[in-house]
């Protein structure tokens, strides 16, 4: 681990700043899973959180409401609930992170860590030595697909289409039980392309060496900027047309008979062979991002066409919710398939392998089924810390990235009265997109407010401040409805 010694100072600084915030609830951590790629490590652990829960007991509703009788009984209880933590950091920090985990891991009887990704082999000895856990290797492809299937099925608004100039850039897809078949393009340091036909039928159909590591490596050489996220920042400020040779630079316009517009890139970096000219870091980073995203987009569409697939999901930590990347990939796929193939991005693109490895362990330990729901407050993923934030601001620091999921104690199942549960799709309406439906429901909630307030006051006849608290609630609730009317997202 020469790298750690070389750059010890800057690394220590990065790691000492946010550890408590990043490695939350490590004291009670159980069941670890780790996914080590060519550049990044993704760690998952499961822990318990204590929190207060208000238990509500409702009295007989069928009886006529009588003034003075309590309608509800509310009691506060301390409860332990399970939470899943996902953390991403650069491989260069792996030794420091393992030390930190070891120092803070107190109440665990865990003996095993599930490990996947290429680095599971390479770092096996280091992990076993540091954490005193036995590394249990799981196949990378299997974990990746398992994780992808899991988020597609379980996490609300996981997948989305990116539309650059639309009112809302992100068109979220509802979870849907029929997720197969699909193509998964996993963009890590390199690119792997998987055809997924069912839970157990999947295959690596292709790959490319031009991936996230190429953006990072070539970007570092060209701009002397060593951080991936800084490179993305540079790219978002650049003009690729200063570096790329466009169709119009060669033809003086478009090449109409071939359907090539003048603004199309004819040759990436085609202008930079010019002697004695300087190119800005921003422009080079933008050109590089275009080059790589376009190439991946074209490969994705060719493999989709070759295998007759229309849904293409993008996983891996290259994309990071970066608008230029998503727009270029989407544009590229639309260009090459004339809209026949749909590019779908994932909010938790980088954690698919870790999630899969964790689930492998969880299934072995505890075959009971339960559901997981995202803890928005603890995740740093796209749109999750705050829906208004620019997706660029998703990470707490450039080095770390987090996702948290809470366990629901029962498995979510379809209503048993349904005639055909497998074909049942909940009749949900995306109120952020349907203005008419939104207005209708906000009106309903406003209309119901008076009744709710009256009922709340009535339920606590002995408390003199009940009326005052109910008014406060009414005000707050109304304000919230107003906010939703103006900012539906």
Q: Using CB under 8 A, which residues numbered 328 to 367 contact a copy of itself?
A: 336
Cα dihedral 182, 186, 191, 197 sign: negative
Residue 33 interacting with a copy of itself (CB under 8 A): no
Closest approach of Cβ 353 to a copy of itself, in Å? 13
Q: Which of residues 358-417 bind a copy of itself (CB under 8 A)?
A: none
Tokens representing residue 226 in the block:
């060593």
Q: Report the distance separating Cα 74 and Cα 54, nearest Å.
A: 7
Q: Is 251 in the site for a copy of itself (CB under 8 A)?
A: yes
Q: Which is nearer to a copy of itself, 319 or 403 (CB)?
A: 319
Q: Establish if 122 lies at the interface with a copy of itself (CB under 8 A).
A: yes
Q: In the window 129-168, what residues touch a copy of itself (CB under 8 A)?
A: 139-141
> Residues 3-22: x/- map of binding to a copy of itself (CB under 8 A)?
x--xx---------------
> What is the DSSP secondary-structure string of 198-209?
SSS-EEEEEEES
Q: Cβ–Cβ contacts within 10 Å for residue 389, how many?
A: 12
> What is the smallest separation between the CB atom of 3 and a copy of itself, expressed in angstroms?
7
Q: Euclidean distance between the first and final Cα of the chain, in Å?
A: 45
Binding-site size, a copy of itself (CB under 8 A): 73
DSSP 212-243: HHHHHHHHHHHH----HHHHHHHHHH--GGGT
Q: Which of residues 256-295 bind a copy of itself (CB under 8 A)?
A: 257-258, 260, 265-276, 279, 284, 291, 294-295
Nearer Cβ to a copy of itself (6/12)? 6
Looking at the Cβ atoms of 110 and 272, the one nearer to a copy of itself is 272
Q: Which of residues 59-88 bind a copy of itself (CB under 8 A)?
A: none
* 30/34 Cα distance (integer angstroms): 13
Nearest to 392 by CA among 324, 474, 346, 460: 324
Binding track over 296-335 against a copy of itself, x by CB under 8 A = --xx--xx-xx-----------------------------
In the range 217-246, which residues lie near a copy of itself by CB under 8 A? 217-222, 226, 228, 243-245
Cβ atoms of 204 and 191 within 8 Å: the answer is no
Q: Is 488 in the site for a copy of itself (CB under 8 A)?
A: no
- Smallest gap from Cβ 105 to a copy of itself, in A, equals 26
Q: How far apart are CA 427 and CA 112, in angstroms?
A: 42
Rule CB under 8 A: is residue 456 a binding residue for a copy of itself?
A: no
* From candidates 18, 38, 323, 387, binder to a copy of itself by CB under 8 A: 38
Question: Which residue lies nearer to a copy of itself by CB, 181 or 207?
Answer: 207
110: Cβ–Cβ under 8 A, 6 or more apart, which residues?
29, 30, 31, 32, 133
Nearest 5°: the CA angle 156, 296, 303 is 85
Burial 305-315 (b: 16+ CB within 10 A, else e): eeeebebbbbb
User: Least separation, in Å, of the C-beta of 116 and a copy of itself?
Assistant: 11
Smallest separation (angstroms) from a copy of itself to the CB of 92: 9
With a CB cutoff of 8 Å and minimum separation 6, the contacts of 109 are 30
Q: In the stretch 175-214, what mask flags binding to a copy of itself with x, by CB under 8 A?
A: -------------xxx-------------x-xxxxxxxxx
Considering only 8, 70, 177, 253, the residue that binds a copy of itself (CB under 8 A) is: 253
Using CA atoms, how far apart are residues 355 and 359, in angstroms rounded to an integer?
Answer: 6
């Amino acid at each position: 681990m020469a790298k750690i010694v070389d750059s010890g100072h800057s690394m220590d600084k990065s790691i000492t700043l946010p550890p408590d915030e990043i490695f939350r609830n490590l004291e009670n951590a159980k069941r670890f899973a780790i996914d080590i790629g060519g550049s990044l490590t993704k760690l998952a652990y499961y822990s318990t959180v204590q929190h207060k829960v208000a238990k509500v007991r409702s009295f007989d509703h069928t009886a006529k409401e009588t003034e003075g009788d309590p309608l509800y009984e509310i009691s506060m209880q301390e409860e332990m609930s399970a939470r899943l933590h996902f953390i991403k950091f650069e491989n260069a920090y792996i030794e420091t992170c393992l030390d930190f985990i070891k120092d803070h891991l107190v109440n665990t009887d865990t003996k095993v860590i599930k490990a996947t990704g290429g680095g599971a082999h390479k770092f096996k000895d280091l992990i076993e030595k540091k954490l005193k856990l036995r590394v249990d290797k799981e196949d990378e492809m299997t974990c990746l697909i398992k994780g992808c299937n899991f988020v597609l099925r379980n996490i609300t608004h996981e997948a989305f289409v990116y539309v650059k100039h639309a009112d809302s850039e992100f068109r979220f897809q509802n979870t849907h039980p029929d997720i197969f078949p699909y193509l998964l393009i996993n963009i890590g340091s390199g690119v792997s392309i998987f055809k997924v036909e069912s839970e157990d039928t999947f295959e690596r159909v292709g790959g490319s060496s031009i991936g996230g590591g190429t953006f990072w490596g070539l970007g570092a050489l060209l701009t002397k900027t060593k951080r991936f996220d800084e490179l993305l920042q540079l790219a978002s400020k650049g003009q690729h047309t200063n570096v790329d040779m466009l169709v119009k630079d060669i033809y003086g316009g478009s090449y109409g008979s071939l359907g090539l517009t003048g603004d199309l890139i004819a040759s990436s970096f085609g202008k930079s062979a010019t002697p004695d000219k300087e190119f800005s870091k921003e422009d080079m980073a933008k050109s590089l991002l275009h080059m790589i995203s376009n190439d991946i987009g074209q490969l994705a569409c060719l493999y989709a066409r070759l295998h007759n697939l229309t849904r293409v999901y993008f996983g891996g930590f290259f994309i990071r919710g970066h608008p230029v990347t998503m727009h270029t990939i989407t544009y590229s796929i639309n260009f090459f398939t004339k809209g026949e193939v749909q590019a779908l991005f994932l909010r938790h693109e980088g954690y698919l392998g870790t999630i899969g490895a964790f689930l492998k362990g969880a299934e072995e330990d505890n075959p009971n089924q339960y559901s997981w729901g995202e803890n928005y407050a603890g995740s740093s993923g796209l749109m999750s810390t705050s829906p208004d934030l620019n997706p660029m601001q998703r990470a707490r620091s450039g080095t770390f990235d987090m996702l948290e999921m809470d366990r629901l104690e029962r498995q979510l199942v379809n209503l048993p009265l349904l005639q055909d549960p497998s074909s049942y799709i909940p009749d949900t309406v995306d109120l952020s997109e349907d203005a008419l439906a939104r207005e209708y429901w906000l009106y309903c909630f406003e209309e119901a407010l008076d009744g709710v307030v009256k009922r709340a006051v009535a339920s606590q006849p002995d408390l003199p401040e009940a009326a005052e608290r109910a008014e406060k609630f009414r005000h707050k609730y109304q304000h919230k409805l107003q906010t939703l009317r103006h900012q539906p997202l």
